[in-house]
Each structure stands twice: as C-alpha cells, then as structure tokens.
Amino acid sequence: MIEIAGLSKIFGVGASAFTALENINVTIRENEFFTLLGPSGCGKTTLLRSIAGFVNPSSGSLTVNGEDMLSKPPYARPVNTVFQNYALFPHMTVAENIGFGLEMLGRPKSEIKSVVADMLDLVQMAPMADRMTSQISGGQQQRVALARALAPKPKVLLLDEPLSALDFKLRKEMQIELKRLQSETGITFVFVTHDQEEALTMSDRIAVMKSGRILQIGGPKDIYDHPAERFVADFIGDTNFVSADLVTEANGIAQVRLPSGKTVEARSPAGGAQSGSVTIAVRPEHAVLSEPGALIDGRLKNIVYFGTDTHYHIESDGQPTFVVRRQNQPDAVEHHQVGDTVGISFNSGTAQVLRD
C-alpha cells in the first residue's frame, strides 16, 4: 500500500519556480493496477519518479506499507521501475539484465539463475536469454525491461509510459500481457500514461492529473460515466457539453433545466456544483435521436459513417455542436437526412453536472 499525503514538488526558486506537484493525496492499494493519467507536463511522471526516489519532493509524506520512503535513496526502496525508453544495460545480455537487481541484492548465484529462468518464461523470452539487448526488437526489449523490474519481486512496480514506443498492434498485445502479469504476480502496479484508452482498459483505478494536481480518482467506469470536472470529461472519451441551470441538488442527484425549458435529472459531482448556471456532460452513445420536442431540439448538420457506428452532428441555438453516436446494425435503413429538424433525448441520470 502506498500512502501519499500533501506531496508537493517545486522546481527552481523565486520567479522561475515551477510547481510540478501540488498537494497530492492518494492511497494506492495492495495488488492494485493504478494509473496516473494526464497530458504531458501534468506531473504524472514527476509523481512516479518521487515514488522511485529520483525526485525529492519539496513537502509531504510518502510511505510504502507504512515505511517512510522519502528518507531513503532509490536503491533502498522496495520499488522497481520500467523506464519509458527501457534503459536496458547495453553491455549485458538479456539474462544478465534480468538478474541485475538480484545480483545487487547479493542473492546467491543459484537463486538468481532460477529466478531469471522463471522471469524469462513469464515474459516468453527464454530463447533470447543470451542475446545482447541491442540484438532484440523493441517489443522484446519491453518484455526484458519488465522482467528485469519484476525479478527482485518489488512491492510496487512503477511503469513510465512503457508502451508508448510500440506500434499499435504490439501495444494492444502488451496491454493484455501487462494486465496478466499484474494479476499473476500480485504486485501493485503504478502505471503512467497519457493514453486514455490504455488507462480505461487496464486500470483498477485511475487518477486524472492536470497542472500538478489530481482532479479525480476512480474506477474506469466511474471516471468515464461520471467525470467530475470539465477537463476530465473532455480528456477521456468524447463528450457533449450543454449549458443548463441548476434547479435543485441533493444527495448527488441534481435537477437541471435545459435551454429548451425541459428539466432532466443528472448526477452532481462530489461536493456539489453549487451554482445556478452549470455545464452538463452527455456521452455521444448515451444520447439518442428522437422526434422534435425532446430535451434538446436542433438541425441535423452532418451524418458521419464510421463503420461500427454513425455520428450525427446536431446544431442548436446557443450550444456547441452535439454529437449522437448510434451503433450500426446490419441492413439498417437511414431514416434521417441532413437538414432535418430532430430531437435529442437521454435517460434521466445519464448526464453529469460538471464542476468547472
């Protein structure tokens, strides 16, 4: 279990000071696949490097299983890192790379040999054991980096965008592979990525970061269906933003009045939105086209066919273009035409009130 409380990191001093992390509070549970998600420069890598020990936070506390980490150098922390560029030792073989951590710990040769053999099997690299790291492909280097970090059986494995250098297909494979390794080894994974899809498919929980702060922590479904802030809703998946007025708000449920005058039930964020005029978020696949006179009426501007689904772009007064996504069925007949006046409906409770 990693407990981080009040963690801040300020680089530089005076006018050029830059706050990379601002009052980070998070508890990462045992055996959890925890993802730090955010755009570049949001502080996710700084937070990861603080856990590894390569960054000294300016204030706050960081413990692993109750043990203080900030007073320890990187080599005394029970965490291992998979680096973004893998950082494999070019003068050692695959097997020597994997055994390096155990060797530094002073484990007996026989133990190192058997653990390395297990790790090679785990990442399916046994035939490559005696190759130099420059003689294997990017995906294989990735596996070796993973095996090297797992071999000393750390309490926590830190992964710094380890899949970003791989091509699309390999990345998909490795996503599944990583998830399998995590459940097989039972090690806590802290995974850094800017790829929202990667975060959604792999994580138990996700922390969305922006400008050195954690905006929201939750499970993938939670984050996707109920983003608390506009940034989260915008960063993860596609979202329609609709301005509305808050009528009532209680126990996480809000009634909002849309510009059409109709009132609909929406989820309100933790802590409440607490203001009269709010923005609500509706996912394109949570909305359906209907007859005019629905929650929102507008003119159909565009129909875009994507193969698996079709996107309808609807313009209405004073609102940004609203997108409705409909999954395509075989031999379905298109009833709508560009220029039609249509209505947009969504179920009560699917819209999310955002904290701006």
Partner 1 sequence: MARPRSFDVRQQTGFTFVAICCFVLLYLPIILLVVYSFNAGTSIAIWEGFSWQWYEAAWNNEKVQEATILSLIIASSASLVATSVAVMAALATTRTGKFKGSGLVFAMINQPLMIPEIVTAVALLLMFAMIKVSTGYTGIWYLIIAHSAFCIPFAYMPIRARLQGMDLNLEQAAADLYGQPWQVFRRVTLPQLWPGILSGAMLSFVVSLDDVVITEFVKSAGQDTLPTYMLGQLRRAITPEVNAISTALLAISIAMVVAFYLLSKSKEK
Residues that bind partner 1 (CB under 8 A): 52-54, 73-76, 79-81, 83, 85, 87-91, 100-101, 104-105, 134, 148-149, 152
> How many angstroms separate the CA atoms of 221 and 286, rounded?
14
Rounded Cα distance between 250 and 231, Å, is: 23
Break the chain down into helix, strand, coil percent, rounded to 5. Answer: 30, 35, 35
Least gap, CB of 179 to partner 1 (angstroms): 23
Integer CA distances (angstroms), 307 to 147, 325, 336, in order: 39, 12, 17
- Report, in Å, the least distance between residue 247 CB and partner 1: 54
CB of 175 to partner 1, least distance (A): 23
Closest contact distance (angstroms) between CB of 39 and partner 1 is 22
Shortest distance (Å) from residue 131 CB to partner 1: 15
Q: In the complex with partner 1, which residue's Cβ is closer, 90 or 186?
A: 90
Min. distance of Cβ 271 from partner 1 in angstroms?
Answer: 38
Neighbouring CB atoms inside 10 A of 280's CB total 26
Query: What token pair was written down for 268?
Result: 């309100």
- Please say which residue, 132 or 288, places its beta carbon nearer to partner 1: 132
Q: Which is nearer to partner 1, 107 or 230 (CB)?
A: 107
| Shortest separation between residue 317's beta carbon and partner 1, angstroms | 54
Question: Kind of pairing, strands 59-64 and 67-68?
Answer: antiparallel
E-strand spans in the chain? 2-11, 18-28, 33-37, 59-64, 67-68, 79-82, 156-160, 188-193, 205-210, 213-218, 240-250, 253-257, 263-267, 277-282, 287-290, 296-305, 309-315, 322-327, 341-346, 351-353
d(CA 341, CA 356): 31
Q: For residue 110, what is the enclosing H or E element?
A: helix 109-122
Distance between CA atoms of residues 48 and 35, nearest Å: 10
Which residues lie closer than 8 Å to 26 by C-beta, 6 or more apart?
Answer: 2, 4, 207, 214, 217
For partner 1, the closer CB: 73 or 318? 73
Of 144 and 354, which CB lies nearer to partner 1 in the complex structure? 144
Which CB, 73 or 271, lies closer to partner 1?
73
Q: Which is nearer to partner 1, 48 or 282 (CB)?
A: 48
Q: Which is nearer to partner 1, 74 or 219 (CB)?
A: 74
Identify which of 52, 56, 67 has the alpha carbon closest to the alpha carbon of residue 9: 56
For residues 83 and 241, which CB has a smaller minimum distance to partner 1 in the complex? Answer: 83
Q: How far is the CB of 202 from partner 1 (least distance, A)?
A: 22
Residue 266 CB, shortest distance to partner 1, in Å, is 46
Q: How far apart are CA 306 and CA 139, in angstroms?
A: 30
114 backbone dihedrals φ, ψ, rounded to 5° = -75, -35
